[in-house]
Amino acid sequence: MSSRPKELAGRPGPRETHGPDVLADVLDSMRLSTLMYGRLELSAPWGLQFCEQACAHLILLAHGSARLDVEGLPAPITLSSGDLAVLPQGVSHTLRDAEGSPLHLLEHDECQSALGLGPIHLGGHGERTCVVAGSFRPGAAPHALLFERLPRLVHVTAEAPSLAAAAQLIITESTSPSPGATVIMSRLADILLVQALRLHLESSQDHEPGLGALADPRIGKALALIHERPAEPWTVESLASAVALSRSGFAARFTSLVGKPPLEYLARWRMTKAAQLLRESETPLTELATVIGYQSEASFNRAFKRWEGSSPGVYRREHRRRAATQ
């Protein structure tokens, strides 16, 4: 399914959620690496094909209009000037001026080699369209649980004023080969991603599974507690009590919205945080085990090896080795 958030005049403010902190936690744990492909100057007839990849895609229509076909969606989406499309799952998709226009397979290497060299020109000699595109590649936690059930497409229209400033800046930077332009574009793309996800949460009517769980007052609060206090000896009963639900009602609601039972999500988040601490700190394993909720280093080692396939010590050494060669 697709999601099409809008900001409407006179609408009540966004519902109170515990989402922003949890959203920041999840994004931080994924260590997203942003690659902006830059500016694509397209003249009809034109078409772009993007293959499925383990990354999220971003498409900002700077000028003109385009037809976006996303694998798994029943109908194409029309993008207009100023619209933003985010494909969190990295599914294959095509973008073109009209149905039947020839497709050009846009390769990751082709885009990367063009960075800093000006726009990529494709198509014929007809009506012009300008697109700014990029991707977000996870350096860790590539299957963050709350992202696994996001829609295939988040479509934010130009009517959303919260995106206008960053969108205009990234379009402006894409026209300039000035030093640092690609870095600025990447940072602005990060802002667009977070804003798009926020708008998706605020516009969710039925608390869609995945990140939509953050918009549910009870489950959003439970997720915030898990993220803020992973060392707490949480049980289903204690989490249910903290959000004023019965044990059975909480367990069913959490599983429906998040996609996993509460304690499975807790265990998975603890491992995600452990991996992040192993990569980014020198915290001794005994202390790290306590920080994420394990009573002994041995029990932490066993749990981490089941989850990651290697012991915490080996994981930390391998990460250092890879970082040193990059």
Cα–Cα distance for residue pair 5/198, rounded to 1 Å: 9
Mean pLDDT of 151-162: 86
* CATH number, span 216-325: 1.10.10.60
Q: Tell me if 131 sits within 8 A of 95, measured CB to CB.
A: yes
Report the largest interatomic distance among the alpha carbons of the chain, rounded to a whole angstrom.
Answer: 68
Task: Give the per-residue pLDDT at 8.
Answer: 30
Q: Indicate the DSSP class of residue 226.
A: H
Fold of the 28-205 domain: Jelly Rolls (2.60.120)
Query: Exposure of 324 by Cβ count < 10 A (0-12 exposed, 13-18 middle, 19+ buried)?
Result: exposed
User: For residue 287, what pLDDT band results from cuts at 50, 70 and 90?
Assistant: very high
pLDDT tens-place string over residues 193-246: 888 888 887 776 555 667 778 878 899 899 989 988 999 999 999 999 999 999
Q: What are phi and psi of 18, to 5 degrees?
A: -110, 25
Query: Exposure of 182 by Cβ count < 10 A (0-12 exposed, 13-18 middle, 19+ buried)?
Result: buried
pLDDT tens-place string over residues 83-116: 999 998 888 999 999 999 999 987 665 555 555 5
Q: Indicate the DSSP class of residue 212.
A: G
Domains 28-205 and 216-325 share a fold: no
pLDDT tens-place string over residues 16-54: 444 436 777 777 776 667 776 678 899 999 999 988 887
- The residue ranges of every structural domain in the chain are 28-205, 216-325
Residue 19: Cβ within 10 Å count: 25
Tokens 């394993």, residue located = 285
Q: Tell me if 226 sits within 8 A of 266, measured CB to CB.
A: yes
Bridge partners (DSSP) listed for residue 120: 40
